[in-house]
Amino acid sequence: MPFDPRPEGRITPTMKIVAGNSNRPLAEAICSHLKLPLTKGQVKRFADMEIFVEVQENVRGQDVFVIQSTSFPANDNLMELLVLIDALKRASAARITAVVPYYGYARQDRKPGPRTPITAKLVANLIERAGADRVMTLDLHAGQIQGFFDIPTDNLFAAPVIVRDIQEHSKGNNLMVVSPDVGGVVRARALAKRMDVPIAICDKRRDRPGESEVMHVIGDVAGKRCILLDDIVDSGGTLVNAAEALLKNGAVEVMAYITHGVLSGGAVSRIQASKLKSLVITDSIQPTAAVLAAKNIRVVSIAPLIGEAILRTAREESVSSLFY
């Protein structure tokens, strides 16, 4: 799909969307938003589980966007991404953008102890070495991961999607944004500022070794409708404990908005049995059947947001203006 000429008279190359197997429904939704067909190709396994990729359309001189979350199974999906990039590079694509809605290994962004890896940096090196020219991702667990790349990297924010959903489903006063732990305060503060509501913090700690974690609420949540905000929900334990602590401190109800619904192990059952009124996640990770069947878990799509960011990148327009 050719775009209008750039100001200097050069024409933007035709845009192609390529997808791996990690989240085909999201890739198809993005293509639907852009009114573009998904580029034909196949990603399959040999008998020994080696990954084989074949792009079945001409991509020479094209502006190609590879959509692939590195979610479970993280290693397989990461390898798919790398092989796809390599295939496109060898097919003479003009520019390759790795669109990674969920960036796996992001929680390994520093050395928590001696002789431990910084795997988020290793993954960045692998993506670059495979041949990506730029990266687009969503709500990185740690902002400094952008600096792990030596190529342009756009960290998109799900905040506009979250704010719109809150406005549609949580009409009324007495809203309060709550960070479920101290590490998420910056994220919670940004959303609270956007919505012009107060903020509170749940401080998780163990008073003595071997004792269970205790949630201390910093801020007056009495009579408030609390919105827990975080980037990743994995086991769901922190969210469930935070919800209980907020209700004990007088909150009227507790909802949670999380960008990446990892929801491993028994997380879905834990959320269903909790006192959370609702958990809203995006489709950055393809929801499982259990997630879709859960009564208090809802999925909102970030396809229009990512689609618009892809379109602006192809047209060399501002992406940051989407969020400010």
- Does position 216 have pLDDT exceeding 80, yes or no? yes
In CATH, what number does 15-157+304-322 get? 3.40.50.2020
Establish whether 238 is an annotated binding residue: yes
Boundaries of every domain in the chain: 15-157+304-322, 159-301
Alpha-carbon torsion angle 285, 286, 290, 295, nearest 10: 80
* pLDDT level of residue 206 (50, 70, 90 thresholds): low
Cβ neighbours around 117 below 10 Å, total: 10
Tokens of 274: 């909790």
Using omega within 30 degrees of 0 as the cis cutoff, is the peptide bond preceding 73 cis? yes
| Residue whose C-alpha is closest to residue 219's, from 245, 190, 256 | 245
| Each residue's pLDDT tens digit, 31-56 | 999 999 999 999 999 999 999 999 99
Is residue 40 part of the annotated active site? The answer reads no
* pLDDT level of residue 212 (50, 70, 90 thresholds): very low
Establish whether 237 is an annotated binding residue: yes
How confident is the model at residue 208, as a pLDDT?
54
Q: Is the dihedral of CA 120, 316, 258, 173 positive or negative?
A: positive
Q: Based on the number of CB atoms within 10 Å of its own CB, is 97 exposed (0-12), middle (13-18) or buried (19 or more)? A: buried
Establish whether 137 is an annotated binding residue: no
Tell me which of 204, 224, 248, 295 is the catalytic residue: 204
Tokens of 58: 């001409």
| Each residue's pLDDT tens digit, 270-311 | 999 999 999 999 999 999 999 999 999 999 999 999 999 999
Tokens of 164: 């719109």
Tokens of 39: 């580029």
* pLDDT level of residue 6 (50, 70, 90 thresholds): very low
Establish whether 307 is an annotated binding residue: no
| Each residue's pLDDT tens digit, 187-205 | 999 999 999 999 999 987 7
How confident is the model at residue 214, as a pLDDT?
62
Domain covering 159-301, topology: Rossmann fold (3.40.50)
Establish whether 50 is an annotated binding residue: yes
Is-contact 183 230, C-beta < 8 A? no
CA dist., res. 96 & res. 117, Å (int): 28
Same fold, 15-157+304-322 and 159-301: yes
